[in-house]
Amino acid sequence: MAQHIMFVAEVAQEKPLLQVRQLSKSYGVNKACYDISFDLYEGEVLGIVGESGSGKTTLLRLLCAGLQADTGSIVYRSEAADPVEICGLNEAKRRQLLRSEWGYVQQNPRNGLRMGVSAGANIGERLMAVGARHYGNIRDQASTWLDQVEIDRQRIDDAPQYFSGGMQQRLQIARNLVTQPRLILMDEPTGGLDVSVQARLLDMLRGLVSQLRLSAIVVTHDLAVARLLSHRLLVMYRGTVVEQGLTDQVLDDPQHPYSQLLVSSVLSP
Amino acid sequence: MNSTKPPASGLPKLKAKSDCSPIEPTEMDQNGYESGDGGTQYNFAWLDEQTKRMLRRALLKAVAIPGYQVPFGGREMPLPYGWGTGGMQVTAAVIGADDILKVIDQGADDTTNAVSIRRFFVRTTGVATTASTHVATLVQTRHRIPETALQNHQIIVYQVPIPEPLRFIEPSESETRKMHGLQEYGVMHVKLYEDISRFGHIATAYAYPVKVNERYVMDPSPIPKFDNPKLHQSPALQLFGAGREKRLYALPPYTDVQSLDFEDHPFAVQQWQQNCQICGSEDSFLDEVVIDDKGGRMFICSDTDYCRHRSGTETLVGSDFAAAVTRTNSKTTTGPNNNNAEPG
């Protein structure tokens, strides 16, 4: 916890990587997300927790502009150019951003991978999409990334449909990280995995995030995942952010009644 | 149907009666188009004039945006999908009465698909046909580009089964259109990557993806990659029609066409140890033909006209060919006699 506080104090001097202000989205009369504001700094992991239907995934999809927000603004400070307003970005630029500086890890790896083509090609796709045209180099990078995510190099030519669930998820992460994005969005990265596999995945993710100084937004309903991965936490309830703060602070001393309920609902073995 | 009649000056023997009247073989056989006593029941080139206009509009757009797939209102043709309905509709839209038509299937002028499509256009337009590439003004082809270099007064029409080169990797049509629009062609290299990782080299041997005019990635139809270099800067107008998918696209003359590859695995065409065993050609695309049940086989040119021409055997040209077709069909067909007609 002390580490976290020091870290936050350090980044507070910088300008945020992502600045979200008054973001709202309704489906008809249902307010999926309402008046959401937060900042994300470089190298920081932000957890979003909340029950099913609280608007977590909608928020994530608004951020990567897969959904158009009704109101509000998302400002991203890209590496090269001036800050860009994601909501007003045209589709070409948005997709360009999404496959170079951003990454999106789907809850179900089947949606984020090409199941029919080899693991190497899955990792290499983003490289080829940004212009890599040297087979040997692409393959080398793919091998390196397989090492990074603890998949045997020998499996480089196997299609992910022959991988286990945990391996598929790790492959998806490698596929997203190969272009060295600055921001990675994860939707329930450990969903559907058994606890020992979860633990390994989280361990690996934590290592990668600190090693690459990645910023990440992790949506999860699992408080243990949130505690392990995220520096700061956003608690969502019925489309609004009811509480935000340092992870340990929120989880150890929840203020809002819903946060208190959420924390007290966790079963401990 | 006056509105669908061709210009009055042209095609006096054609009765533009109905666009989709059923085939009446008896009358056709007795009063074939060329026999001079009444003609066929069909409009010139079978399609009605409005359809041909629609096709031509789509073709103009296709020529204006090289490699871009233009949707068109595909019509039912008297032939199943997969037999060249797209190519036939394009041919029907551009053919004129003074054209000399060549139809090939896998390089050969005398295979089923080529013969039936050629007969179709002879019946419905009365144009002259030829097997000789340099005589033809219009070539419809399935799976080959003739070995003889095409000229700038010629048009070549390709029959295309799957026009979308990205289909292998992306099944959604709306997504592939978006990818074309935004030039997101990284996935094309995923396909080539897979080839190399499996076979050690780019094993795609036909329908090899190309980039046209440094913009659109295009499927050149299932021609062998041997023919890909012929697409580049070709003086002839190249038109592609996909009947089932109802798309057409084009390469205007002298367009840049680049085969996709990797820096360390550059594009290369097929090569053979053998020469053609009929004409001895060293540089043409060879077919391996099994000649007996004792393991005997020979390599011969896939382009029959090229092979005949080189080996000095009978080259069927113009009316000779029509006569040959006639002999096999045992009916009278002579050359065209309505060259003054406007294209339909």
3-class DSSP state for residue B41?
coil
Query: In the prediction, which pLDDT does A5 show?
Result: 52
Give start and end residues of each alpha helix (H) in chain A. 2-11, 56-63, 91-100, 109-112, 119-129, 135-148, 165-177, 195-212, 223-229, 247-252, 257-264
Confidence band (pLDDT; 50, 70, 90) for A64?
confident
Query: In the prediction, which pLDDT does A209 show?
Result: 87
Whether A32 shows a pLDDT value over 60: the answer reads yes
Chain A window 93-132: which residues touch B at a Cβ cutoff of 8 Å? 95, 114, 117-118, 120-121, 124-126, 128-130
Sheet containing A71-76: order of strands = A30-40, A18-27, A71-76, A84-85
Task: Show the tokens assigned to B300.
Answer: 């011969």
Residue A254 near residue A263, CB atoms below 8 Å: yes
Residues A141-164, mean pLDDT to the nearest whole number: 93
Cβ–Cβ gap B265/A95 under 8 Å: no
Query: In the prediction, which pLDDT does B342 show?
Result: 39
What whole-number distance in Å separates Cα of residue B248 and Cα of residue B239?
7
Query: In the prediction, which pLDDT does B221 show?
Result: 93
Distances (CA, A) of A125 to A132, A179, B57: 9, 10, 37
> How does DSSP classify residue B145?
-
Query: In the prediction, which pLDDT does B119 show?
Result: 94
Exposure of B282 by Cβ count < 10 A (0-12 exposed, 13-18 middle, 19+ buried)? exposed
Task: Show the tokens assigned to A139.
Answer: 């393959």
Chain B window 177-196: which residues touch A at a Cβ cutoff of 8 Å? 178, 181-182, 184, 186-187, 189-190, 193-194, 196
> Closest Cα partner for A177 from A197, A149, A136?
A149
pLDDT tens per residue, range A84-143: 888 888 888 888 888 888 999 988 999 899 998 999 999 999 999 988 999 999 999 999
What whole-number distance in Å separates Cα of residue A1 and Cα of residue A239?
28
What whole-number distance in Å separates Cα of residue A102 and Cα of residue B82?
43
Distances (CA, A) of A149 to A124, A146, A173, A250: 15, 5, 8, 30
Whether A27 shows a pLDDT value over 50: the answer reads yes
Query: In the prediction, which pLDDT does B314 show?
Result: 59
Tell me how crowded residue A107 is: count the other CB atoms within 10 A of its CB: 19
> Closest Cα partner for B51 from B106, B3, B9, B15?
B3
3-class DSSP state for residue B152?
coil
CB within 8 A of B217, min separation 6: which ones?
Answer: B67, B165, B166, B180, B185, B188, B209, B210, B211, B260
> The domain B2-165+209-268+315-329: what is its CATH number?
3.40.50.11310
Whether A29 shows a pLDDT value over 70: the answer reads yes
Query: In the prediction, which pLDDT does A67 show?
Result: 84
Query: In the prediction, which pLDDT does B319 show?
Result: 46
Query: In the prediction, which pLDDT does A82 show?
Result: 79
Query: In the prediction, which pLDDT does B10 show?
Result: 40
Residues A27-55, mean pLDDT to the nearest whole number: 90
Query: In the prediction, which pLDDT does B40 show?
Result: 54
Query: In the prediction, which pLDDT does B164 show?
Result: 96
Cβ–Cβ gap B197/A138 under 8 Å: no
Q: Please, what are the averages of pLDDT over each run of 10 residues along chain B (344 residues)?
A: 43 42 41 42 90 97 97 93 94 96 94 94 94 95 95 96 91 93 92 93 94 96 96 97 96 97 95 92 93 92 93 59 45 39 38
pLDDT tens per residue, range B19-47: 444 444 444 343 334 433 345 578 999 99
Confidence band (pLDDT; 50, 70, 90) for A186?
very high
Query: In the prediction, which pLDDT does A78 show?
Result: 78
Cβ–Cβ gap A135/B262 under 8 Å: yes
B252: Cα separation from own chain's centroid:
15
Rg, C-alpha atoms of chain A: 18
What whole-number distance in Å separates Cα of residue B208 and Cα of residue B138?
24
Query: In the prediction, which pLDDT does B245 show?
Result: 94
Residue B291 near residue B297, CB atoms below 8 Å: yes
pLDDT tens per residue, range A156-169: 999 999 999 889 99
3-class DSSP state for residue B318?
helix
Confidence band (pLDDT; 50, 70, 90) for A212?
confident
Query: In the prediction, which pLDDT does B161 show?
Result: 95
Cβ–Cβ gap A135/B196 under 8 Å: yes
The pairing of beta strand A71-76 with beta strand A84-85: antiparallel
Half-sphere exposure of A208 (CA within 13 A, CB side): 25
Partner B contacted by A156 (CB < 8 A): yes
pLDDT, chain A, mean: 87
